[in-house]
Structure 1
Amino acid sequence: MGKFVKILLLSVCVGFLAVKWTEPTFDAESLKGARVLVTGASTGIGEQLAYHYARFGAQIVITARREKVLQQVAEKCKNLGAQQALYIAADMGNDSDPDKVVDFALERFGGLDYLVLNHIGPVPFGMWEGDVEHVRWLMKVNFFSYVQMAWRALDSLEQSRGSLIIVSSLLGKLSSPFMAPYSSTKSALNGFFGSLFHELSIKKSNVSVTICTLGVIDTETAMAKIGDLTIIPAYPASDAALSIITGGAKRTAEIYYPWLTYIATISKDWFPSVTNFFIQHAIKYDP
């Protein structure tokens, strides 16, 4: 490796650590009694988000499609220390359900302090073969419903000096083969909520926006699709969830988990050929 490249990588690492050291510290007490709505909370990262918020003593509304599973998660949240743990089943592909969920939380809690948007629709892993309708439906679930819920909750978050937390993905910054519809929805999230962050800052709004860029996480769904196909290590969903929560509580504009996702994000501009080679060879594919 050339001397220049080594110095460049070292500078990035030092800069990243410097930013981390100058961030506000995480105050766990600030989450006690906080009014939180978490979407996609029946499994995976969303479920772990609910459990962590419960341990911090928050008031939680969780939502997903499967009511029986939500009931079980809510019960566990109560046992872990949540001041309240409510649930509402909803399908984010339905035009009215995103508003219904936000209205439910506002009615029960009288407002919101955190809106954590985490849900995703099912995505097949493989070459895209022209299913435009699926892309349109997935965009509705993974993107438009986020925008809809954020707008519905914005006034309440403004009053509470609240936080809007968007769970995105490295694939929203680095396009990957075999995940074209999913990558497109995450790219849309980054673009829209990145713009919203600036607009709210210009207006001196009380609402913070945190966009979370996640790498491969060891959720059951992800491992079933790519667990044996990728050379990229998977990281614990519980740790990812805690990183999301602390970033939102500190009102950090962007978080990366694991931290190597940050290096991967900037590498595409510095070393595009190397990055493209790695992306195309990180997943085993047998045509």
Structure 2
Amino acid sequence: MGAFTKIILVSICVAFLAAKWTAPTFDADSLRGAKVLVTGASTGIGEQLAYHYARFGAKIVITARREKVLQQVAEKCLSLGAQKAFYIAADMASESDTDRVVDFALEKLGSLDYLVLNHIGSSRFGMWDGDVEHTRWLMKVNFFSYIQMAWKALASLEQSKGSLVVVSSLLGKMSSPFVAPYTSTKSALNGFFGSLRYELAMKKSNVSISVCTLGLIDTDSAMEKVRGVTNVPAYPATDAALNIIITGATRQPELFYPWFTYFIAITKDWFPSLTDYIILNSYDYIP
């Protein structure tokens, strides 16, 4: 490794640590009574988000497609300390459902302090087979519903000086095999909400936007797809959820979890050949 490369890497490390040390202090009490809408909350990261908010004493509305599972999650939220917990089943591919969810949350809670957009549509893990219709449907669920719900909730968030929290992925910042449709949706999220954050700042808006870049998380749906195919390490959904909540509560513009995703996102353009080598050798694929 050359001297210049070492200097660059050390500089990145110093910048990252400095950002962490100067980050606002998280006040758990600030979430007591907070009014929160969490999407994709029947399982995985969304479920863990709901439980953490409940432990902090928030008032919660959760949504996903499966009503019975949502009911169980809401009941557990109440047992963990949520001041209120409501649920509404919805299909995020439906424009009317996305509006209905926000309306329901505003009706039940009166306003919103946090909108946490976390849901994703099911997508196969494999080489793209030319299915444009599936990619179009996935964009509806993973992207268009996000921007529609954000716009619908923006006025309430403005009044409460609230936060919009967008759960994205490292795959939105760099490409990887077997997930072309999914990657396209996450790239769209990063671009849209990155731009919107600047526009809100220019308007002196009260609303903060936090985009959360996650690596591989050990949710059941993710592990079923990648088990035996990749040696990329997976990290706990409950830890990811807590970091997402802290990022939104402290109004930080970005989260990288686990920490090394920050370096991967930065160095991929500086060392493209090395990045390509690592990616291509991270998967066990037999044609």
Question: Which residue in 2 is equivalent to 1:101?
Answer: 101
Question: Which residue in 1 is equivalent to 2:7?
Answer: 7
Equivalents in 2 of 1:216, 1:228: separation in Å? 14
Aligned to 1:119, what secondary structure does the other structure show? coil
Question: Which residue in 1 is equivalent to 2:267?
Answer: 267
Alpha-carbon shift at residue 228 of structure 1 (Å)? 2.0
Alpha-carbon shift at residue 4 of structure 1 (Å)? 2.2
- The amino acid that maps onto 1:95 is E
Equivalents in 1 of 2:256, 2:223: separation in Å? 20
Unaligned runs of 5+ in 1: none
Question: Which residue in 1 is equivalent to 2:68?
Answer: 68
Aligned to 2:268, what secondary structure does the other structure show? helix
Question: Which residue in 2 is equivalent to 1:32?
Answer: 32
Question: Which residue in 1 is equivalent to 2:143?
Answer: 143
Equivalents in 1 of 2:122, 2:81: separation in Å? 31
Equivalents in 2 of 1:2, 1:164: separation in Å? 42
Equivalents in 2 of 1:243, 1:227: separation in Å? 25
Whether 2:279 is the aligned partner of 1:279: answer: yes
Aligned pairs for 1:19-168 within 5 A: 19-168=19-168
Identity %: 72
- The amino acid that maps onto 2:199 is E
Aligned to 1:164, what secondary structure does the other structure show? strand
Alpha-carbon shift at residue 95 of structure 1 (Å)? 1.9
Equivalents in 2 of 1:204, 1:285: separation in Å? 50
Aligned to 2:269, what secondary structure does the other structure show? helix
Question: Which residue in 2 is equivalent to 1:232?
Answer: 232
Aligned to 1:88, what secondary structure does the other structure show? strand
Equivalents in 2 of 1:233, 1:211: separation in Å? 22
Equivalents in 1 of 2:219, 2:249: separation in Å? 23
Equivalents in 1 of 2:251, 2:168: separation in Å? 16
Deviations 1:231-255 (A, max 9, x none): 1100000000000000000000011
- TM-score of the pair, normalised by structure 1: 0.99
Runs of 4+ in 1 over 2 A off after TM superposition: 1-4
Deviations 1:207-231 (A, max 9, x none): 0000000000000000000022111
Aligned to 1:24, what secondary structure does the other structure show? coil
Alpha-carbon shift at residue 170 of structure 1 (Å)? 0.2
Question: Which residue in 1 is equivalent to 2:207?
Answer: 207
Using the TM superposition, name which of 267-276 and 64-73 deviates more.
267-276
Equivalents in 2 of 1:11, 1:129: separation in Å? 42
Alpha-carbon shift at residue 268 of structure 1 (Å)? 1.2
Unaligned runs of 5+ in 2: none
Equivalents in 1 of 2:197, 2:227: separation in Å? 34
Aligned to 1:116, what secondary structure does the other structure show? strand
- The amino acid that maps onto 2:242 is L
CA RMSD of aligned residues (A): 0.7
Question: Which residue in 2 is equivalent to 1:169?
Answer: 169
Question: Which residue in 2 is equivalent to 1:17?
Answer: 17
- TM-score of the pair, normalised by structure 2: 0.99
